[in-house]
C-alpha cells in the first residue's frame, strides 16, 4: 500500500513538472541568456522585454488593442446573455424557442467556416479592421455557453424571490436589477471569465479581420514577430511576448479557478 501511494505521488508530481516545465522554461529564457542581459555575455536582464516594448507599433498599443477587444467581448457577452438568460428562463414570449435554438446552433457551426462570410458582413457594416467589430464577433461565439449558463443560473433561483420583490412594488426590471442579479452573479463571473480567456487569446479572427498593423492584437503581433523577418527570429523577444500574453490569463485563471470549474459542471455538461 505504501509503495502504491508513493508511486501515485511520484507519477502525479512528475506529470505536474512536465506540464509546468514549458512555461517555466519560457519565463526563464525571457530573462536569462545572451540576449536577455543588457551588456555582453550571458546573464540575467530585461533586454528581451525592452526590445519587445519597441517592436512594431509598440507593445503598449498591442496590449491596449487586446484589452479593448476583450472588454467589448466580455461586456457584450455578459450583458446580452444575462438579459437573454432571464427572458428565456422566466418570461413567455413568442419566438423564444426559436431564439434559444438559433443561439445553440452556433455551437454546431464550426468556427473557422463562418469567418469568411463574416468578413464580408463586417465590411457591409463598416466594421472591417475594427476592434469593436472583432469584439462583437467573438461575443457571438460565446453566446451559446453564456445563454446556457445564465438560463441555468436564473432557473436555479427560487421563483418566490422574484415574487416577493414584485409584491413589494418592484417592476420586473427592478426585481431583476435589485434582487436577481445578486443571485446569478457567480454565473456572470463564469461567463465573463470564459469570454475573457477566449477573446484575449484569439488568433485566427483578428488575423483575418484586422489589416492595419497598428490595430493588431497581441497574438497576431507576436505571430508577426515570429514570422516577419525570415531567418532572424528574435527568440528572446518572442519568449518575452509569450510571457506578456500569458500572464494576465494565468493570473485571472488562478484567481477564478472555481468559477472555471463550475462552468464545466453547469454549462458544458448539462442540457
Partner 1 sequence: MVSVLPIRPARPGGSTTHPGRTPVSGLGRRRQRLGWAYSAPMAAIVAVFFLLPLALMLWMSVNHWPLLGASYPNGVENYGALTDPFFLRALWFTIKYTVVTTIVLSLAAFGMALLAQSARPGTGLFRTAYFLPTAVGLGSASLLFYGLFNTESSPLNTVLDRVGLGPVDWLGTNGSALSSTVGMITWRFAGFYMLILLTGLHSIDPSLYEAARTDGASRWQTMRHVTLPLLRPTLALMMVLSVTGSLLAFDQFYILTGGRHDTATLAIDIYREAFLSQDLGRAAAVSVALLVVLILINGAQLRLLRRKED
Instruction: Please give the residues from 168 up to 187 whose contact with partner 1 meets the rule CB under 8 A.
Output: 172-173
3 binds partner 1 (CB under 8 A): no
234 binds partner 1 (CB under 8 A): no
Restricting to residues 31-70, name those near partner 1 by CB under 8 A: none
C-alpha cell at 90: 422566466
Using CB under 8 A, which of 69, 74, 137, 184 touches partner 1?
Answer: 137
Q: Which of 201, 166, 165, 160 is closest to 73 using CA atoms?
A: 201
Q: Which stretch binds partner 1 (CB under 8 A): 41-49, 54-62, 184-192, 200-208?
A: 200-208
Nearer to partner 1, 31 or 89 (CB): 89
Q: Which of 154, 206, 210 is closest to 184 using CA atoms?
A: 154
> Measured from the CB of residue 99, what is the shortest distance to partner 1 in angstroms?
6
Between the CA of residue 32 and those of 19, 25, 28, 69, 239, what are the distances in Å? 21, 10, 6, 32, 11
From start to end of the chain, where are the E strands? 32-33, 43-44
Restricting to residues 77-116, name those near partner 1 by CB under 8 A: 79-81, 83-84, 86-97, 99-103, 105-106, 108-114, 116
CB 218 within 8 A of CB 244: yes
Size of the site for partner 1 (CB under 8 A): 100
C-alpha to C-alpha distance for 160 and 52, rounded to whole angstroms: 56
Using CB under 8 A, which of 39, 41, 60, 117 touches partner 1?
Answer: 117
Amino acid at each position: 500500500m505504501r509503495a502504491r501511494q508513493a508511486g501515485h505521488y511520484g507519477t502525479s508530481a512528475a506529470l505536474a513538472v512536465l506540464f509546468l516545465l514549458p512555461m517555466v522554461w519560457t519565463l526563464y529564457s525571457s530573462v536569462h541568456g545572451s540576449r536577455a542581459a543588457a551588456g555582453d555575455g550571458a546573464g540575467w536582464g530585461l533586454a528581451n522585454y525592452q526590445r519587445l516594448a519597441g517592436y512594431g507599433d509598440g507593445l503598449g498599443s498591442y496590449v491596449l488593442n487586446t484589452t479593448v477587444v476583450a472588454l467589448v467581448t466580455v461586456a457584450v457577452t455578459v450583458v446580452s446573455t444575462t438579459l437573454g438568460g432571464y427572458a428565456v428562463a422566466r418570461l413567455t414570449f413568442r419566438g423564444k424557442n426559436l431564439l434559444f435554438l438559433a443561439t445553440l446552433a452556433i455551437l454546431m457551426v464550426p468556427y473557422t467556416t463562418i469567418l469568411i462570410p463574416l468578413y464580408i458582413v463586417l465590411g457591409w457594416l463598416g466594421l472591417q479592421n475594427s476592434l469593436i467589430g472583432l469584439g462583437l464577433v467573438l461575443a457571438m461565439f460565446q453566446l451559446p455557453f453564456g445563454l446556457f449558463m445564465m438560463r441555468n443560473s436564473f432557473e436555479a433561483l427560487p421563483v418566490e424571490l422574484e415574487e416577493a420583490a414584485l409584491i413589494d412594488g418592484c417592476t420586473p426590471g427592478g426585481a431583476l436589477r435589485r434582487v436577481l442579479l445578486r443571485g446569478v452573479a457567480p454565473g456572470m463571473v463564469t461567463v465573463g471569465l470564459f469570454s475573457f480567456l477566449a477573446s484575449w487569446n484569439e488568433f485566427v479572427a483578428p488575423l483575418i479581420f484586422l489589416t492595419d498593423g497598428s490595430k493588431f492584437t497581441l497574438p497576431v503581433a507576436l505571430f508577426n514577430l515570429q514570422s516577419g523577418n525570415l531567418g532572424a527570429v528574435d527568440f528572446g523577444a518572442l519568449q518575452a511576448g509569450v510571457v506578456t500574453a500569458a500572464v494576465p490569463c494565468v493570473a485571472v485563471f488562478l484567481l477564478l479557478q472555481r468559477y472555471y470549474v463550475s462552468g464545466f459542471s453547469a454549462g458544458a455538461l448539462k442540457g
